[in-house]
């Protein structure tokens, strides 16, 4: 079974994107796919001075990423972009494994990735910018059936994310597309003639 990590771009423990992550986790479970959540929130701000060797918290996160097959990001939208902490995580992961080859394989290189968001307007802007970033750092971005969840007016008032039936269907299709890409990559690994 593929090793899939969910990455919460929010540090808000019960924020809208944390609630969306739980919904996404349920969809994966219903599709008989185990997932784990990456714990990354305590890593320091990236600095080349600390790149090789990295701080222990970064080393642990990098090991988790190396062991993974695919990464599913769930992130808020801050002014059209992902939160600074999530970008910082990606900066750490996009570094070359080999310090003597800056263009070599990174810790996140060639992973299957996807992005969703709970935000105003479904996070269209952050999904777009994240997909651009993930493509730039040489991951395989899945955006077929890409979708997000719009935070409704009443959600802001009560702190609970409302996911409509249409949004639920959209998320199920998106997760299924992501899983199809993961399974296709697995099949290719075991049978390179495919």
pLDDT digits (tens, 9 = 90+) for 63-104: 999 999 999 999 999 999 999 999 999 999 999 999 999 889
Domains and CATH numbers, the chain: 4-190 (3.40.50.360)
Query: Long-range CB contacts (< 8 A, 24+ apart) of 26-32?
Result: 27/171, 27/172, 27/175, 28/4, 28/175, 28/179, 31/175, 31/176, 31/179
Convert 55-90 to b/e letters by CB count within 10 Å (16 or more is b).
eeebeebbebbeebbbbbbbbbbbeebbbebbbbbb
What pTM was computed for the model? 0.95
Q: In this predicted structure, what is the pLDDT of residue 193?
A: 58
Position 102 scores a pLDDT of: 85
110 conformational bin, left if phi > 0, alpha if psi -120 to 50, beta if neither: left
Name the CA dihedral angle for 112, 73, 176, 179, rounded to a multiple of 10 degrees: 30
């Amino acid at each position: 079974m593929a090793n899939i990590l969910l990455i919460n771009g929010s540090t808000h423990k019960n924020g809208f994107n944390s609630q969306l992550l739980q919904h996404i986790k349920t969809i994966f479970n219903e599709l008989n796919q185990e997932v784990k959540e990456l714990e990354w929130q305590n890593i320091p701000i990236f600095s080349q001075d600390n790149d090789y060797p990295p701080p222990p918290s970064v080393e642990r996160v990098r090991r988790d990423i190396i062991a993974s097959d695919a990464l599913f990001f769930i992130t808020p939208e801050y002014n059209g972009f992902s939160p600074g902490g999530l970008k910082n995580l990606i900066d750490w992961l996009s570094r070359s494994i080999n310090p003597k080859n800056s263009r070599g394989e990174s810790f996140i290189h060639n992973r299957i990735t996807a992005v969703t968001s709970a935000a105003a307007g479904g996070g269209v802007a952050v999904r777009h910018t994240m997909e651009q970033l993930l493509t730039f750092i040489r991951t395989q971005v899945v955006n077929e059936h890409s979708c997000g969840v719009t935070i409704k007016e009443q959600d802001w008032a009560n702190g609970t994310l409302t996911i409509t039936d249409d949004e639920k269907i959209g998320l199920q299709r998106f997760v299924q597309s992501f899983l199809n890409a993961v399974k296709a990559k697995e099949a290719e690994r075991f049978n390179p003639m495919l």
